[in-house]
């Protein structure tokens, strides 16, 4: 038994450390600038030297790596386009990041699979024997596939790595003082002057929030889970599920002939969107279907049960100041039409407080 | 969804028989001719008639989209088989090139809204 356990452990660790090697195809590229440089050395400064762990086509988790290491592979790739000669200027590249990512994301009405190569490079030249950083770039090479087109997605990681390497070189050449004069007015700025880029594909936010609700007829609390992929442009379509516990205000319950009215409601979304207004600030809107039940106690103390269903809408704001982890604040106004024993149409406000992780 | 799968298959098959693109063919003014999906061709809507992209040899471009003019820098990525437009305001747009000759260019925009369409341009020299 001991042996079989040990054997299973060995197999698990073997597959956990399985590796697949990527060989970059030798495709030289067209440059639109002078080519009087060559890449002398690539220094791999990444903490993790592989490209990331992924499920291969056999559904095994493997670490992807470049076949002869990142340094040698990239040097060779660039040498195809920039052969070394005595007139060329040697360039040294520090590789700060190079990884391959995959993630689901919403696309139009469905879900698509997205792939990314993320790269960060610093181009340097030697001045008096010391490395001088002259250009730095962060870049994402993205592609979108059908959700089930795993084969095509997996097979093209290699192509995106080449495209990312090529992209960084184009951007560097355009900005490199010694040859930039051949191009008029380049719009490829170094990243520091440019917008921030997401290093992770489809930055997925998990929010768990509590809300305090106050309406014309009810008050109460709710808890929600919201998941969404952040995006700067367009509408974000989050997934949300929530549970609410509410009770009719005393005077309202009495007017309707009850001592107490408590309601428990789920709120699946029909349509729900966030719109990024600024970094960390989102407008939120939803159309939803409240569904649940009311427990009613009449003035004689008898209990009864009422099934509730309806349609609701809400409009509000969410503030998520810290992207990685932290506080979430929000406020909404809401309206709803429900089969409640105490109202048909209700409206109110809710204050949201929670965490993102 | 079915349409998306068909188009993904078409794109994949285009990829496997990818023609070699001659970057010199990019230069010139490309007028929007038509759209297509896996089933048929479509005329561009009225507001898009007259849309074009001019790609200059000094890597500058001018596009007119729905009458709106944009300028900036363009670059062709051989390995990724796409053209990136970097507008003066910093906005980026990417089109994947499926076919290019001196007079014809077929591309797909890298935005969800248009991802399932192929866009056909003609270059009347």
Contact B78 A166 (CB under 8 A): yes
Which run of H or of E encompasses A136?
strand A130-146
Give the residue with greater pLDDT, B54 vs A267.
B54
Architecture in CATH of B2-123 = Beta Barrel (2.40)
Give the residue-averaged pLDDT of B35-61: 91
So what's the pLDDT on residue B49?
Answer: 87
Dist CA A336 CA B2 (whole Å): 36
Dist CA A203 CA B75 (whole Å): 28
Identify the bridge partners of residue A278 per DSSP, sorted by sequence position. A281
Give me the interface pTM, i.e. the ipTM: 0.83
Dist CA A329 CA A317 (whole Å): 8
Contact A29 B79 (CB under 8 A): yes
**Residue A322 DSSP one-character state:** -
Q: What is the CB neighbour count within 10 angstroms for residue A56?
A: 13
Dist CA A264 CA A222 (whole Å): 9
In the structure encoding, which two tokens stand for residue A193, read together?
């002057």
Q: Where are the domains of chain B?
A: 2-123
**First vs last C-alpha separation in chain B:** 39
Nearest to B75 by CA among B110, B122, B23: B23
Domains of chain A: 16-193 (3.40.50), 204-356 (2.40.160.20)
Dist CA A150 CA A55 (whole Å): 10
pLDDT tens figures, A21-52: 999 999 999 887 777 899 999 999 999 999 99
**Residue A32 DSSP one-character state:** S
Which residues 177-196 in chain A show a CB within 8 A of chain B? Answer: 183-189, 194-195
**Does residue A1 register a pLDDT over 50?**
no
pLDDT tens figures, B2-30: 444 444 444 444 444 456 889 899 999 99
Q: Choose the mutation target among B79, B89, B111 for the interface with A, i.e. most A CBs under 10 Å.
A: B79
Contact residues on chain A for B8, CB-CB shorter than 8 A: 145-146, 149, 152
* Half-sphere exposure of residue B122: CA atoms within 13 angstroms, side-chain side: 6
In the structure encoding, which two tokens stand for residue A46, read together?
């990444």
- Are A249 and A217 in contact by the 8 Å Cβ rule? The answer is yes
**Does residue A246 register a pLDDT over 90?**
yes
Say if B110 is an interface residue toward chain A (CB within 8 Å).
Answer: yes
Contact A152 B60 (CB under 8 A): no
- Are B4 and A109 in contact by the 8 Å Cβ rule? The answer is no
Dist CA A343 CA A336 (whole Å): 10
Dist CA A64 CA A101 (whole Å): 11
């Amino acid at each position: 038994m001991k042996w079989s356990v040990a054997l299973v452990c060995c197999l698990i660790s073997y597959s956990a450390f399985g590796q697949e090697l990527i060989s970059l195809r030798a495709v030289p590229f067209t440059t639109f600038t002078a080519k009087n440089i060559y890449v002398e050395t690539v220094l791999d400064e990444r903490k993790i030297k592989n490209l990331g762990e992924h499920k291969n086509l056999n559904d095994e988790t493997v670490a992807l790596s470049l076949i002869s290491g990142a340094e040698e592979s990239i040097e060779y790739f660039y040498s195809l386009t920039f052969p070394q000669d005595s007139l060329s200027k040697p360039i040294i590249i520090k590789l700060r990041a190079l990884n391959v990512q995959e993630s689901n994301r919403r696309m139009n009405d469905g879900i698509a699979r997205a792939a990314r190569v993320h790269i960060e490079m610093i181009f340097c030249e030697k001045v008096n024997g010391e490395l001088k950083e002259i250009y730095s770039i962060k870049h994402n090479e993205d592609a979108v596939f059908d959700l089930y087109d795993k084969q095509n997605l997996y097979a093209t990681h290699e192509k995106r790595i080449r495209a990312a390497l090529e992209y960084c070189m184009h951007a560097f050449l355009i900005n490199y003082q010694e040859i930039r004069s051949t191009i008029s007015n380049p719009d490829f700025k170094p990243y520091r002057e440019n917008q921030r880029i997401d290093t992770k594909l489809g930055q997925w936010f998990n929010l768990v929030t509590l809300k305090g609700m106050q309406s014309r007829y009810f008050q109460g609390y709710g808890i929600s889970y919201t998941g969404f992929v952040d995006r700067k442009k367009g509408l974000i379509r989050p997934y949300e599920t929530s549970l609410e516990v509410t009770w009719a205000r005393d005077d309202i319950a009495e007017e309707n002939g009850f001592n107490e009215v408590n309601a428990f409601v789920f709120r699946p979304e029909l349509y729900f969107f966030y719109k990024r207004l600024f970094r960390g600030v989102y407008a939120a809107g939803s159309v939803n279907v409240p569904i649940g039940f009311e427990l009613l106690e009449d003035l004689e103390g008898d209990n009864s049960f009422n099934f509730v269903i309806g349609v609701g809408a809400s409009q509000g704001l969410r503030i998520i100041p810290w992207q990685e982890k932290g506080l979430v604040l929000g406020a909404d106004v809401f309206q709803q039409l429900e089969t409640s024993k105490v109202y048909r149409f209700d409206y109110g406000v809710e204050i949201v407080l929670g965490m993102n992780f | 969804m079915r349409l998306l799968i068909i188009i993904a298959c078409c794109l994949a098959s285009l990829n496997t028989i990818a023609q070699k693109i001659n970057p010199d063919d990019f230069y010139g003014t490309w007028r929007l001719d038509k759209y297509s999906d896996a089933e048929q061709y479509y005329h561009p809507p009225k507001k898009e008639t007259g849309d074009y992209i001019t790609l200059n040899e000094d890597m500058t471009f001018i596009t007119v989209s729905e009458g709106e003019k944009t300028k900036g820098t363009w670059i062709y990525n051989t390995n990724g088989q796409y053209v990136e437009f970097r507008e003066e305001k910093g906005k980026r747009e990417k089109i994947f090139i499926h076919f290019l000759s001196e007079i014809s260019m077929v591309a797909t925009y890298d935005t969800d809204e248009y991802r399932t369409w192929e866009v056909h341009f003609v270059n009347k020299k």
